[in-house]
Structure 1
Amino acid sequence: MKISKRIAVLGAAAVLTAGLAACGGVTKDDATVYVKGQIDSTYLGQYNEDYLKLMDMTEAEAAEDYEWNLGAEADWFMDFASIYPSDETKEKVVELYKEIYAKCKYTVQPASKLDNGNFAVEVLVEPMDLMVQFQNTADLDTVWTEVTASEGITSDEQINAMSDAEYEALEARYADKVIALVRGLLPDVGYETEQSCIIQLKLNDENVYEMVGTDWQNLDGMMIDYYGSYAQ
């Protein structure tokens, strides 16, 4: 049960963004509202009225970004922590990430308009050290051994003799223990050195401003520091 490398090309969660239509003109204030609204909806499940009006969407429609992002992060975390991805366990991990995301810290600065007509929005992020703490305090091989030992399982032969249902139940107990370990760290979560991330909005051929994907990837990687990249 070793922690695997993070390999998702777009980061743990790539938001499903709607573009900002340029028809009628887009101001720097619009660009700021757009970026802040996307981040707030994706990580906090908060939907500012100015953002909803700008995007001409309902709160239920905006909530789709939040739910999608939670599911994507849950899928990644289950791989990260070698958790068997059952539907029931995924629901538990999604609930865990609602608690984690609620602790994200960031500040969206006013947008600037670039000479080429695009926009740039600086976001100041305080990376959360939760997963660094987790890896420093939990050894997943040991967690698995403790779970199997608690069930009287001490050999691969015993595991191989299990039915699918029995093995999935064992995996579920392992998942519950990992989730509990992460949740137990939440009250003492810390934050690392503040980072600056520039989100660019580029006008595409359809006259719609889109976020640059790699900029969002950088932002997502800063929110929760999985590998101590921003530790002092």
Structure 2
Amino acid sequence: MKQYVKKTVVFILTASLMLLTGCQQPFDATGYTQAVLDMVTRGETKAYEAISESSEEEAKKQYEAAIDSYMQEFDSLGFSDELTEKYRSYIPNLMQKTKYTVQEAKEQDDGSFEVGVEVEPIIMFGGIEELLQQKLQDYLSQVQNNILNNQAAPTDEEMTEAAGEMLYECLNTALEDPQYGDKTTITVHVQESETENVWEIPGEDVDALMTALIDTTGAEEAFTLS
């Protein structure tokens, strides 16, 4: 008998992918959850490919979709394409630093599974506010000096770009010695879909888990400063 596992992407649930289980072997809900997490945070696709029988290309697309989800924080800030690409290269480095431990799945009476994931959230903007403020003050002082020396003032676009570069530098500095929040356990449910013959992690569980991995506290303040 063929069973299916639903393709999981951060904040997005897409089409189904096959997994041979049922009569052949018990479904490995723990392994599935671990494979999904390793794929979307580490770009490690081998286990995901094996457990889902998907191709490397399909798995890579899922990983890129996860990065796209996090890039939504930056896409609307008005940065140049070049700077936006820098932020896109930063996101995988951030995701690599996430910490999680997948616990043993517990089968429920209805045949579904509960899987606890212990998360130690990385603090994305941890400790950068003071550094960013100093960089911005130095930049504005230089702009004022240039104006006093009869040099043209930068355009709004140029100032936005400069601030974005400073924020990018600060975020990368924070990754050199990342800060983490208190450990918490997120419970995800691995269950058969009500409408399809597939195993899936509900979208709200995926959202809760991926939100817990990265603490974006301070994002509004940082973006306001930039």
| Deviations, residues 167-226 of structure 1 (Å, cap 9, x unaligned) | 544432221111001111112112222110111122122111221112111111211112
- C-alpha change, 1:174 and 1:56, in structure 2 (3 Å) is same
**Are the aligned partners of 1:28 and 1:112 in contact in 2 as well (CA < 8 Å)?**
no
**Are the aligned partners of 2:116 and 2:188 in contact in 1 as well (CA < 8 Å)?**
yes
Alignment of 1:135-174 (within 5 A): 135=129, 137-139=131-133, 146-147=138-139, 149-151=141-143, 152=146, 162=155, 167-174=156-163
**Are the aligned partners of 1:129 and 1:190 in contact in 2 as well (CA < 8 Å)?**
yes
- Aligned counterpart, 2:111: 117
TM-score, normalised by the number of residues in structure 1: 0.74
Provide structure 2 residue ranges, at least 5 long, that are not aligned to the other structure: 1-9, 219-226
- Aligned counterpart, 1:36: 34
- Of residues 180, 186, 199, the one that matches 1:191 is 180
Which one has the bigger strand percentage?
A: 2
Provide structure 1 residue ranges, at least 5 long, that are not aligned to the other structure: 1-12
Q: Which amino acid aligns with 1:216?
A: V
Equivalent residue of 2:128, what SS? helix
- C-alpha change, 1:20 and 1:61, in structure 2 (3 Å) is closer
Question: Which structure is larger by alpha-carbon Rg, 1 or 2?
Answer: 2
- Aligned counterpart, 2:46: 48
- Of residues 185, 189, 209, the one that matches 2:199 is 209
**Are the aligned partners of 1:21 and 1:209 in contact in 2 as well (CA < 8 Å)?**
no
Q: Which amino acid aligns with 2:201?
A: M
Q: How many residues align?
A: 202
- Aligned counterpart, 1:7: none
What is the root-mean-square deviation in Å for CA atoms of aligned residues? 2.9
**Are the aligned partners of 2:131 and 2:170 in contact in 1 as well (CA < 8 Å)?**
no
Moved more, 29-38 or 14-23: 14-23
| Deviations, residues 27-60 of structure 1 (Å, cap 9, x unaligned) | 66522222111111111111134x3122111222
TM-score, normalised by the number of residues in structure 2: 0.76
**Are the aligned partners of 1:17 and 1:65 in contact in 2 as well (CA < 8 Å)?**
no
- Aligned counterpart, 1:219: 209
Between the aligned partners of 2:57 and 2:66, the Cα distance in structure 1 is: 15
| Deviations, residues 6-31 of structure 1 (Å, cap 9, x unaligned) | xxxxxxx5255554657752866522
- C-alpha change, 1:150 and 1:71, in structure 2 (3 Å) is farther
**Are the aligned partners of 2:100 and 2:118 in contact in 1 as well (CA < 8 Å)?**
yes
- Aligned counterpart, 1:182: 171
- Aligned counterpart, 1:14: 11
Between the aligned partners of 1:46 and 1:23, the Cα distance in structure 2 is: 21
**Are the aligned partners of 1:84 and 1:175 in contact in 2 as well (CA < 8 Å)?**
no
Between the aligned partners of 1:42 and 1:222, the Cα distance in structure 2 is: 14
Q: Which amino acid aligns with 1:30?
A: D
Equivalent residue of 1:192, what SS? coil
Higher relative contact order (CA 8 A, sep 6+): 1
What is the identity percentage for the equivalent residue pairs of Structure 1 and Structure 2? 26
